[in-house]
Amino acid sequence: MKYLLWLLKAAIFFTLFAFALNNQQDATVHFFFGTQWTAPAVLIVLIAFTLGVAVGVLGMVPRWWRHRKAARRAQEAAPQPPAAEPAAAQAPSEPTMPRTPIDGI
């Protein structure tokens, strides 16, 4: 299973590497008021992906905080189990072997 995961990771890496090599030509991004930016197409795609991930994570932060706060409140409201005796204080009982008659002994 470990080798299969490494094989999958290698396939994804080489696919993205081939995508980067095939998209080295310049692309122009036009902004407002006549401004523009020219860069390799793969760099523009990478930046757009990174910005999308950042926006998604920032959009989830308030919900994560709400869930953490609710989990903390639920944990504080739950009754705590009574403290048990430490394991070292309990003396383990010795196991006894069952006595069975063996050939007249």
In-domain check, residue 32 = yes
DSSP H helical ranges for the chain: 2-22, 41-77
In-domain check, residue 64 = yes
In-domain check, residue 5 = no
In-domain check, residue 1 = no
Mind listing the pLDDT tens digit for each residue in 93-102?
666 666 666 6
Mind listing the pLDDT tens digit for each residue in 37-81?
899 888 888 899 899 999 999 999 999 999 999 999 988 887 777
Per the model's pLDDT, the better-predicted residue between 19 and 105 turns out to be 19
In-domain check, residue 67 = yes
Closest CA to 23 of 7, 43, 9: 43
Where in the sequence is the domain holding 54, given as residue range(s)? 26-74
CB 40 within 8 A of CB 27: yes
Q: Which residues of 40-54 are buried (b: 16+ CB within 10 A; e: fewer)?
A: ebbebeeeeeeeeee
Overall domain count for the chain: 1
pLDDT, residue 25, reads: 87
Length of the chain: 105
Q: What is the pTM of this model?
A: 0.53
In-domain check, residue 54 = yes
In-domain check, residue 4 = no
